[in-house]
Amino acid sequence: MAAVVMDGKGLAAKLKETVRLQVERMERRPGLAVVLVGDDPAALSYEAGKRKDCQQCGIYYDAFRLPENTSQAELMDVIGILNGRAEIDGILLLLPLPRHLDGRAAVLAIRPDKDVDCVHPVNMGDLALGMESFRPCTPAGVMRLLEEYRIDPAGKRCVVVGRSNIVGKPQAMLLLQKHGTVTICHTRTPDLEAECRRADILVSAAGRPGLITGDMVKEGAVVIDVSINRDAQGRLRGDVDYAAAAERAAYITPVPGGTGPVTRAVLMENTLAAALRHGKG
């Protein structure tokens, strides 16, 4: 039986429409600012996507495109200004920064109540403790997909491949909060194949095209591919061998069109939540 393809685009459209309807009723609309240093084409495309999302949701949008040679002091000044602007509820600093800049110092400078991508240690700490906080957009998007397809992690073996601070670690914490039994795997995990084959829910965020082959997928598993990579031919691919995995999985996300659109929609939700915290209603 062919796997159910989890439609991230459709879910994202529903989430953004819900945000739009709520924003439409607000006297003061939410605001998002994106800070981009340099002119990396992928980052520029990503920033343009955020602009489009905000337009669709009725959210005020501002972008700060800083030159590659921006100094640490100049970057901190921009963040300070955005921290103080009442019309800005969320600040998204596109990472990684150029090597001469201190990314941790920049992240620490963002007000936690405006940290809509949940990169500040205060918000990550609240997440680890199970407290109310912003949720990192990609891991929260994965949980949204599970909810949409009525997949409950409770009591299931959940394997997360990847241990990054922005996806792997918070993804594991969110699955734990839903009572999944979670294993985090990485490049030094012995017998990765066996760990993956045990998973009822397999989330891959390793950033390695073709890492997860079809024979690493348990029959009837849920396979969520977070990564978007380019192969040697320049084609977009995830970590998972999609065709082979789809023959064994019960549910699977495509790349592109799976987790990516939902990640963007969750950022809109987080920006709305920040505005409500700031008394906009």
Q: Say whether both 179 and 217 belong to one domain.
A: yes
Q: Let me know if residue 19 belongs to a domain.
A: no
Tally helices (H) and strands (E) across the chain.
10, 11
Q: Say whether both 141 and 234 belong to one domain.
A: yes
Backbone torsion region of residue 245, taken as left when φ is above 0, otherwise alpha when ψ lies between -120 and 50, otherwise beta: alpha
Q: Let me know if residue 101 belongs to a domain.
A: yes
List, in sequence order, every beta strand (DSSP E) within the chain: 4-5, 31-37, 60-66, 90-93, 157-161, 181-185, 201-204, 222-225, 229-230, 236-237, 251-252
Q: Taking the mean position of all CA atoms in its chain, how far away is CA 114?
A: 16
Q: Let me know if residue 275 belongs to a domain.
A: no
Domain of residue 244, residue span: 136-260
Q: Say whether both 98 and 192 belong to one domain.
A: no
Q: Say whether both 105 and 202 belong to one domain.
A: no
Q: Let me know if residue 87 belongs to a domain.
A: yes
What's the CATH number where 86 sits?
3.40.50.10860
Q: Let me know if residue 247 belongs to a domain.
A: yes
Q: Which of 166, 81, 115 is nearest to 270 (CA)?
A: 115
Return the pLDDT at 229.
Answer: 78
Q: Say whether both 101 and 144 belong to one domain.
A: no
Crossing angle for the helix pair 121-129 and 168-177, nearest 10 degrees?
30
User: What are the distances in angstroms from CA 280 to CA 25, 29, 100?
Assistant: 11, 7, 38
Q: Say whether both 107 and 184 belong to one domain.
A: no
Q: Let me know if residue 267 belongs to a domain.
A: no
Q: Say whether both 152 and 232 belong to one domain.
A: yes
pTM: predicted TM-score of the whole model, two decimal places: 0.94
How many domains does the chain divide into? 2
Q: Say whether both 143 and 250 belong to one domain.
A: yes
Q: Which residues, 6+ apart, have CB-to-CB distance to 262 below 8 Å? A: 8, 11, 12, 15, 141, 142, 144, 145
Q: Let me know if residue 171 belongs to a domain.
A: yes
Q: Say whether both 48 and 91 belong to one domain.
A: yes
Backbone torsion region of residue 261, taken as left when φ is above 0, otherwise alpha when ψ lies between -120 and 50, otherwise beta: alpha
CA distance 58 to 56: 6
Q: Say whether both 84 and 144 belong to one domain.
A: no
pLDDT tens sequence for the chain (281 residues): 689 999 999 999 999 999 999 999 999 999 999 999 998 887 888 888 999 999 999 999 999 999 999 999 999 999 999 999 999 999 999 988 999 999 999 999 999 999 999 999 999 999 999 998 899 999 999 999 999 999 999 999 999 999 999 999 999 999 999 999 999 999 899 999 999 999 999 999 999 998 999 999 999 999 999 998 777 777 778 899 999 999 999 999 999 899 999 999 999 999 999 999 999 98
